[in-house]
Structure 1
Amino acid sequence: MIQILTTILLFIFSYVFYVVYKNSNFSTSKLNLPPGSYGWPFFGESLALLQAGRDGVPERFVQERIKKHGSPLVFKTSILGDRMAVFCGPAGNKFLFGNENKLVGAWWPISVRKIFGKCLLTTRGNEAKWMRKMLLSYLGPDAFASHYAATMDVVTRSHIENHWRGKEEVNVYKTIRLYAFELVCRLFLSLEELNHIAKLGSLFDVFLNGVIELPIDFPGTRFNRSKKAAAAIRTELMILIKARRVALEEGKASSSQDLLSHLLTSSDECGRYLTEWEIANNILLLLFAGHDTSTCSITLIMKRLGEHPNVYDKVLNEQLEICKTKEAGETLKWEDIQKMKYTWNVVSEVMRLTTPVMGSFREALVDFEYAGYTIPKGWKLYWSIASTHRDEGNFVDMEKFDPSRFEGAGPTPYTYVPFGGGPRMCLGKEFSRVEVLVFIHNIVTNFKWDLLIPDEKIVYDPMAIPEKGLPVRLHSRHV
């Protein structure tokens, strides 16, 4: 009965959106729009985009349409319920990054906006600048230079002892998810109770699966389950927020204790503070960003190191040189992170070949011209990280895994964009860099590993993960 009702409602939605599309297209029919197709009513070409990711070839969506429409710079489509212009390659990246808050502004599909609510991701203008400045003071390089590297090292060592030491086989993705989530809970919330972390982590597993989905809000759909999980996470966060506010008022907590205290005690120039609901939304966002992208990156790095023993050896040698400068039991410092140049080149090449996310969105704030075409105000814009990174025009011998691409000046500007660019470059870039490097230091100095599924397929759902989670056989080594 539920299935029949769902089918009927989908038909009604499709018809309504068809009428809306037909009427809205009339108003733009006289404009010189980019070539392309809107696809099916309501669904547009969303299914093709999502399927390309789940097939492990996210660049296919853009490449096929460039070839079909004969437009290498921009084409039109419809994704997740919105008319959209897809900007292609370095020229498109440069245009979007350089015109932030002028011609284009932040935008995310309705599924993202409904799930995250009002936060840095979904705001723009002066309010977004304030939120970004406040968060950057906690997540920027200056903050990590003080003590975060050491804290990450302590958490990483504990995780390896509890989840890797003594094991013959490990599912990397599942195990790294535990690590990454525990790390952000400790650094952002000072949350150390493992059962509480596990409860939040199980909710996040459901939450993640519906973030980038068609906004079909019926019981049983991925979007509906994700929205409910996000609400449950918020409920848990609100309890923590209220308890921390009391602790701050009673002098039992410090304003510099963690991200939660920082958000509760920071205001803008006019003395405005974030509401508790806005704090919950921003922490939800950062838990998501700090947990899932790092999990994917570390898993993919371990896959590449398992496939390329010569690269593993070079990474190991660099990390052993750092070990030689440390006393027994001494934690990593900011200065040690700066020495991991070859290791970071390896990380960068992994993110080039298999970027954790497929792409990102913007919105046209005014009518503007691009590549000879008119982009109307209100149109949504999409730029594909994957298709930029996997273009022979940008990287010679594109399929080859070659960390030396990042030596010296590195790739041509706007061809390598895993963290975006411009005023809205990924806020967690430095957090992710330190987290990944600290983990790689600890894992290679303790273990070597064999991949139990050679050539395991990578799928995007919505982020890049090995299809079976990357099971490995561990071999302990002694420093």
Structure 2
Amino acid sequence: MELVLLFQPFLLVFTIFLSLCFLFYVLRTKPTSQKLQLPPGGSGWPFIGETLEFLSLAKKNCIEKFISDRQNKYSSYNLFKTSYIGENFVFLCSTEANKFFFSNDTKLFKTWFPKNFDKIFLHIHKLDVTNEIAKIRKQTSTLFGQHDALQNNVTYIDAVAKEHLKVHWNREEVKVHPLAKKFTLAISLRSILNIQDSETVKELENLFNCLMTGMFSLPINIPGTKFNRAVKASREIRKKFEGIIRQRKIEVSEKSEKSFDSSKDLLSMLLMDGDKNEEGAVESDVASNLCGYIVAAYDNTSTAIVTIVKYLAELPEVYEQVYQEQIVIANSKGPGELLNLEDINKMKYSWNVASEVLRLQPPFSGLFREVLTDFNYDGFLIPKGWKVHLTVHATHKSSKYFQDPEKFDPSRFQENKLVPFSYIPFGRGPHMCPGKEHAKLQILVLMHNLVKTFRWEKLIPDEPLIRDPILAPAKGLPVRLYRHKP
């Protein structure tokens, strides 16, 4: 009897715990409509869902396994549900689902960010995301998309690339990942804020590296944590940007629209656009927005460059074809002559190689959205407030859309033979990444300068790519360089 009395409190607590778990499961899985059921799938453990499995596979760069396991289980459907980072999620897994997503973005969905983003990028939850995206698309189409702008950007990026190689690659061994980030950040700072001073760029590089390291870490904001350092770095970046914004506003107000060159960077274009809300915006809000734009602009591009360098080291026959294409272009240039847009248009095989890299190893896993209103998709109820993940891995590595999907084959991208909505590293249609053409220029210009100057080999042959959550080589991709003989 005494033994029973001793364990009675523990039994009571255990019973309450089981009851709560059961209630939690029922509430999460009970259909909210009598006519429609929720998508197929599981919720995993109470509270944590299937987060640990997803993150574990992501760390090993095996997100496609998380998806394919569930696709195989629910093979007759275009989607599945799960619970991830405390949220109910629907993963979209087919070209039909991708088309539906892009056709209804902003109608059924709004952009969604993890909660810890708001502490790093202040006021992100307050943004009118639809208007912000529309504004950025308008400005970037002018800054990066028009013919004259593209030509100017090619020349500028080529000059930066040549100087970058001269300063940072003039040695026998280098780590590619930090150098690629240095290259793309310098271009992003110039394109968005017209920052070109080398000391300022170096200081901001250190701050952005700190920010990126903690952006997806556990949101524990105490001294010494990655997240705390990211919050502090973001604060310092915004402080510097606010000063630049105030000075630029003075320059804009003191000069007439005809005499002020607003085409040199995104900030100037925003201030000269005539948008009263932007002109009267608080500098801290504008600084937060610009900080987010720069993160989006430089990190994905640098990741793509690193992965291209990795594959060119592993596939000498692919490298050779890229080299032959680029050396013809190089030999057509006069001494000191920079690349132009016509040269970029000749780099067809090189871009096919880059496209195949982006198919196999996309920098980000996909897009995240929040559902604005209950809707029916494929006979299932998608409730308001749930999160939707359009994951590129579901179609990029599917044998349904790509023959022998694990094989590296640049010829897939010849003659536009792809199944529509199967290849989406930049999005699709009106929701195509507005910086795609600028990223393409950076990738091809650096490829040109690298392969015409060097061959290289990996110093860690089996170095893996990991996702934390952004794709990166585990050790920074150290390589040994072999300069071509004159």
**TM-score (norm: length of structure 2):** 0.88
Aligned to 2:404: 397
1:472 to 466, 479, 482: 479
Aligned to 2:120: 115
The question of 1:330 aligning with 2:337 is answered: yes
- C-alpha separation in 2, matches of 1:293 and 1:139: 17
- C-alpha separation in 1, matches of 2:243 and 2:353: 41
**More divergent stretch after superposition (301-310 vs 108-117):** 108-117
Aligned to 1:230: 234
SS of residue paired to 1:445 = helix
**More divergent stretch after superposition (43-52 vs 343-352):** 43-52
The CA deviation string for residues 311-334 of structure 1, in whole angstroms up to 9 with x for no partner, is 111111111121232211111111
RMSD of the alignment, in Å?
Answer: 2.8
One-letter code aligned to 1:176: A
Q: Aligned in 2, Cα 1:22/1:280: closer, same or farther, shift over 3 Å?
A: farther
The CA deviation string for residues 124-179 of structure 1, in whole angstroms up to 9 with x for no partner, is 444532343233322324463340110001011000000112x0101111121211
The CA deviation string for residues 80-113 of structure 1, in whole angstroms up to 9 with x for no partner, is 2221111112122111011122233322322334
Q: Aligned in 2, Cα 1:303/1:345: closer, same or farther, shift over 3 Å?
A: same
The question of 1:81 aligning with 2:81 is answered: no
- Aligned residue runs from structure 1 range 233-252, under 5 A: 233-251=237-255
One-letter code aligned to 2:346: K
- C-alpha separation in 2, matches of 1:43 and 1:215: 15
Q: Aligned in 2, Cα 1:341/1:256: closer, same or farther, shift over 3 Å?
A: same
- Aligned residue runs from structure 1 range 380-419, under 5 A: 380-419=387-426
**More divergent stretch after superposition (128-137 vs 392-401):** 128-137
SS of residue paired to 1:228 = helix
Contact 2:154/2:339 (8 A) holds in 1: yes
The CA deviation string for residues 164-216 of structure 1, in whole angstroms up to 9 with x for no partner, is 12x01011111212111122222322222222212211111121123335545
The question of 1:171 aligning with 2:175 is answered: yes
**More divergent stretch after superposition (358-367 vs 373-382):** 358-367
- Aligned residue runs from structure 1 range 365-444, under 5 A: 365-444=372-451
2:194 to 190, 193, 196: 190
Contact 1:52/1:61 (8 A) holds in 2: yes
Contact 1:120/1:131 (8 A) holds in 2: no
SS of residue paired to 2:262 = coil
Contact 1:264/1:274 (8 A) holds in 2: no
- C-alpha separation in 2, matches of 1:18 and 1:143: 63
Aligned to 1:262: 269
The CA deviation string for residues 441-479 of structure 1, in whole angstroms up to 9 with x for no partner, is 111111111111113211011211111111111011145
One-letter code aligned to 1:140: G
2:294 to 280, 287, 310: 287
Q: Aligned in 2, Cα 1:72/1:221: closer, same or farther, shift over 3 Å?
A: farther
Aligned to 1:361: 368
Deviation at 1:302, TM superposition (A): 0.6
Structure 2: which 5+ runs fail to align? 1-18
2:164 to 159, 165, 168: 159
The CA deviation string for residues 264-288 of structure 1, in whole angstroms up to 9 with x for no partner, is 2223499966543343123212211
One-letter code aligned to 1:45: E
- C-alpha separation in 1, matches of 2:277 and 2:302: 38
Contact 1:360/1:384 (8 A) holds in 2: yes
**More divergent stretch after superposition (455-464 vs 245-254):** 245-254
Q: Aligned in 2, Cα 1:160/1:82: closer, same or farther, shift over 3 Å?
A: same
Aligned to 2:138: 133
SS of residue paired to 1:34 = coil
Contact 1:84/1:379 (8 A) holds in 2: yes
Q: Aligned in 2, Cα 1:215/1:267: closer, same or farther, shift over 3 Å?
A: farther
Deviation at 1:43, TM superposition (A): 2.8
Aligned to 1:38: 43
Q: Aligned in 2, Cα 1:371/1:315: closer, same or farther, shift over 3 Å?
A: same
- C-alpha separation in 1, matches of 2:242 and 2:285: 10
Structure 1: which 5+ runs fail to align? 1-14
Q: Aligned in 2, Cα 1:472/1:288: closer, same or farther, shift over 3 Å?
A: same
Aligned length, in residue pairs: 464
Deviation at 1:46, TM superposition (A): 2.4
The question of 1:93 aligning with 2:98 is answered: yes
SS of residue paired to 1:392 = coil
SS of residue paired to 1:350 = helix
One-letter code aligned to 1:359: G
Rg larger in structure: 2
SS of residue paired to 2:415 = coil
- C-alpha separation in 2, matches of 1:179 and 1:458: 20
Aligned to 1:206: 210
Q: Aligned in 2, Cα 1:358/1:374: closer, same or farther, shift over 3 Å?
A: same
Identity %: 39
SS of residue paired to 2:204 = helix
Aligned to 1:51: 56
Q: Aligned in 2, Cα 1:36/1:408: closer, same or farther, shift over 3 Å?
A: same
**TM-score (norm: length of structure 1):** 0.89
Contact 2:456/2:479 (8 A) holds in 1: yes
Aligned to 2:10: none
- C-alpha separation in 2, matches of 1:169 and 1:384: 36
Deviation at 1:253, TM superposition (A): 6.3
Deviation at 1:433, TM superposition (A): 0.3
Contact 2:111/2:370 (8 A) holds in 1: yes
